[in-house]
Amino acid sequence: MEFRNTLEFSLEMDKNDALAKYREEFVYPKVNGKEVIYFTGNSLGLQPKRAKTFVDDIMTDWANLGVEGHFYADKPWWDYHERLIPPLAKVVGAKPKEVTVMNTLSVNLHFLMVSFYTPNSKRYKILCEEKAFPSDQYMLHSQVRYHGFDPGDAIVEVKKRAGEHYWRTEDILAKIDEVGDELALVLIGGVNYYNGQVMDMELITKAGKKVGAKVGWDLAHAVGNVALKLHDWNADFAAWCSYKYMNSGPGNASGVFIHERYLDKKDIPRFEGWWGTKKSERFLMKPHFEPMPNADAWQVSNPAVLSMAPYLASLELFEEVGMEALIEKQKALTGYLEFILKEIDTEVDSSFEIITPQERGCQLSVFLHGQGRALFNFLMENGVIVDWREPNVIRLAPAPFYCSFEDMYRFGQLLKEGIQGKK
């Protein structure tokens, strides 16, 4: 497709966009009385309008039914999370029995490491990417120390090559082979939070399994953003938050994938609680744990339905549209944004460097050489919600549900104005 940096072209693209109508499904913040151009779906997605209805339904049932809402609400609370599973399994490429919703992301990764990081004196090392998201770094260090190992020895980081802003898959595979039979776990972000790179999850999983390691994925920036086939890729486990591209609201419930080969087992290491025991026996108050035959066996407490309600509302939208259509628009939208950035770069006395490789989802991370935080402030004050990372990087994530081609064009014009110092 031959892009053009004109308002007319962007409007024509929107006119032909089959998903354009879904913009009306979301609530937009306003700056100076105008709806914003929203580029931070990689941090917190916009609110689906229907989310409020789903939450209000629970509040109404609570008011009218009290405790009986667990069983007699329109969507009974005791099995509320089960409604999220079929559409969510499609999003992550899993069988429904391999998916559940519970807790929050870092909590779930800790829980999953109880099952999948079981080191011994020989096989104890964890491989991750250099400068992983801080929460993952803290988690890995604490898990290693808990098992009596030194993080400086046990945690192996795959580094980027000098002068490059992305990881090369061959370097990750080589490091897995190098660590070999000392490697207990590979745990990497499926989409890197900083540069937006999509890792080759299939190849990395295969390599980790080949040397006898368990392989898990932090999919915080991947779910609802890129194509996933967790079951077919043979990953052991994965977890993700729901409030970025999944639009479920701040800090809301996390999702979990556990491959079917680990299901319906009593002997697997696992922290257990009453909501993971067999549904038919849950209220019999038996002293012995009988695991659910699916990923629900990893649940500890009853579902936090008020946090799951907006997630369910958003998943309705994903079910209506499907990941294939979202990814098709995502590629066109991100491609147009890249084109706009390069066009503006030729028109102003500046230099942009897109540090996101072509293996990407929605996000473009951009070095704004010669620019400081004043440019970020200008954009924010003029209704462009972007993310700033020191020293001079902005992250732009045009989510296909609610971003338009016109947004990309207007952003380019504001970016040009900000660089030129016009008010």
pLDDT, average across residues 131-146 = 95
Predicted local distance difference test score (pLDDT) of residue 422 = 53
- Pairwise CA distance, residues 202 & 232, whole Å: 9
CA quadruple 303, 309, 314, 318: dihedral sign: positive
Domain ranges for the chain: 7-49+322-420, 75-321
Kindly report the CATH number that applies to the domain delimited by 75-321: 3.40.640.10
Most confident of 182-196, 280-294, 379-393: 182-196
Whose tokens are 């082979």? That residue is 177
Banded pLDDT at 36 (limits 50, 70, 90): very high
Burial 302-334 (b: 16+ CB within 10 A, else e): bbbbbbbbbbbbbbbbbeebebeebbebbebbb
Per-residue pLDDT tens over the stretch 290-344: 999 999 999 999 999 999 999 999 999 999 999 999 999 999 999 999 999 999 9
Paired tokens of 1: 């497709």
Banded pLDDT at 283 (limits 50, 70, 90): confident
Structural class in CATH, domain 7-49+322-420: alpha beta
The mean of the pLDDT values for the chain is: 96
pLDDT, average across residues 383-410 = 94
Do residues 240 and 226 lie in contact, with contact meaning Cβ atoms separated by under 8 Å?
no
pLDDT at 370 over 90: no
DSSP state of 49: H
Predicted local distance difference test score (pLDDT) of residue 371 = 77
Main-chain dihedrals φ then ψ at residue 289, nearest 5 degrees: -80, 125
pLDDT exceeding 90 applies to what percent of the chain?
91
pLDDT exceeding 70 applies to what percent of the chain?
99
Cβ within 8 Å of residue 223, ≥6 positions away: 91, 92, 240, 242, 244, 245, 246, 255
Beta strands in 183-243 (DSSP E): 183-189, 214-218, 237-240
What string of DSSP letters covers 293-322?
A: SSGGGG--S---HHHHHHHHHHHHHHHHH-
Q: Is 134 exposed, middle or buried (0-12, 13-18, 19+ CB in 10 A)?
A: exposed
Residue among 322, 323, 263, 302 nearest 81 (CA): 302
pLDDT at 150 over 70: yes
pLDDT at 390 over 90: no
Paired tokens of 275: 């909501």
Residue among 353, 339, 317, 334 nearest 21 (CA): 317
Predicted local distance difference test score (pLDDT) of residue 423 = 43
Beta strand 351-354 with 254-258 is unpaired
pLDDT at 345 over 50: yes
Residue among 23, 33, 42, 3 nearest 404 (CA): 23
- Pairwise CA distance, residues 242 & 308, whole Å: 9
pLDDT, average across residues 63-88 = 97
Predicted local distance difference test score (pLDDT) of residue 369 = 79
148 vs 419, which has greater pLDDT?
148
pLDDT at 213 over 60: yes
